[in-house]
Amino acid sequence: MTTPEVPPGIAEREEAAEQPDPQVETPRRRRRKSGLVRRESRLGVALMIPTVLVIVLLVILPLLWNIALAFQPARLINIQEVSLIGFDATLRNFEIVLSDNDFWPVLRTTFVYTIGGTVLSILMGLWAALALQKAFRGRSIVRGIVLFPYVVPVVAAAFVWQVMLNPRFGVINVWIERLGGNPIDFLGTRSYDISVFGLFTLTIPLALVTVIVFEAWRYFPFAFLFILAALQSQSKEIDEAAMVDGATISQRFVYVTLPGLWPVLSVLFLLRFIWTFNKFDDVYLLTGGGAGTEVITVKIIDWLTGRGNVGAAAALGIILALILSVVVFIYYKFFYVDEETA
């Protein structure tokens, strides 16, 4: 007796019905999925632990220690007695710092140095980016040369500038003497009088201006890279249309190029302002903070090593951080533009 054959279509449907539906979660699939989620969670925690440890050890603990020092009468001679917890807080260190005769002049010098160096470096970077935007023979070599001040070690750069500006044998003063002038101590002169066509005399803080120029020369390549990338991402069609309509180079820059650079320029200003405000090595290597170039960071070192007042140095560091916090708040309040909501 022969078994009746099942039509092919019916057999395939029966096999498909016997197989579990991939869209339906069975207990076995739920257990497998939950086990995978747990493994991924453990892996994520394991990868985060080194980052958390670095942040705690290198950021949070030093910050808490600095705050604790600022509210205690901490000196170098009794630094071992200072505690992170369980101390009697006092504002004496802030009173000492704010009542110091040098505080407000140093703060003013810091702002002049920071704003001057920031604005000048961005302007130099903008000029270099505009000049090197279009292709020409040897452009890559010139771009590499432009980056040289940013990559050279600051110690080497400061040494070269000290030798170059030396009042006795510096190359700048050699040329000044050949032109009939007198040698100038650029890094050691607090104020210098310049006669403007014999009409009036202009007094400039020569050492401070020299340090600002050094700051701008050293860090304008950073602005150059950002601005060049922004220029290359801009559409050429709008500029070409403005040129066809008869717009001059200055008009195309003001009404076409510059509006597209404002977001980059604002971010550059914020970053350079913060970094320059915190700068210590450039000023210290060039002048040691003398001749009217003492900034807050140099003053912190003076409180710490020169006077042995650790608490006052910590208090001045907190004041510096508060000033920068206000600057960042002003930026995000009035100048920050969210591209998603713009």
Show the tokens assigned to 156: 């080497």
Token pair for residue 167? 């009042």
Q: Indicate whether 211 pLDDT > 90.
A: yes
Q: pLDDT tens, 270-288?
A: 999 999 999 998 999 999 8
- 283 in Cβ contact with 215 (< 8 Å): no
Whole-structure pTM over 0.85, yes or no? no
Q: What are phi and psi of 87, to 5 degrees?
A: -115, 160
The predicted pLDDT at position 164 comes to 92
Higher pLDDT, 195 or 306: 306
Q: Mean per-residue pLDDT for 160-173?
A: 90
Average pLDDT over the chain reads: 83
How large is the average pLDDT for residues 308-321? 90
C-beta separation of 73 from 92 below 8 A: yes
pLDDT above 70 (res 231):
yes
**102 is written with which tokens?**
């040098």
Q: Is the pLDDT of residue 252 over 70?
A: yes
Read off the tokens for 264: 């980059």
- Residue 5 has what pLDDT? 53
- Please say if the pLDDT value at position 202 is more than 90: no
Q: Kindly report the CATH number that applies to the domain delimited by 105-291.
A: 1.10.3720.10
Q: How many CB atoms lie within 10 A of CB 278?
A: 15
Alpha helices in 56-153 (DSSP H): 61-70, 92-99, 103-131, 139-146, 148-151
Cβ atoms of residues 53 and 73 within 8 Å: no
Long-range contacts of 199-205 (CB under 8 A, 24+ apart): 205/112, 205/292
Task: Give percent above pLDDT 70 in the chain.
Answer: 87
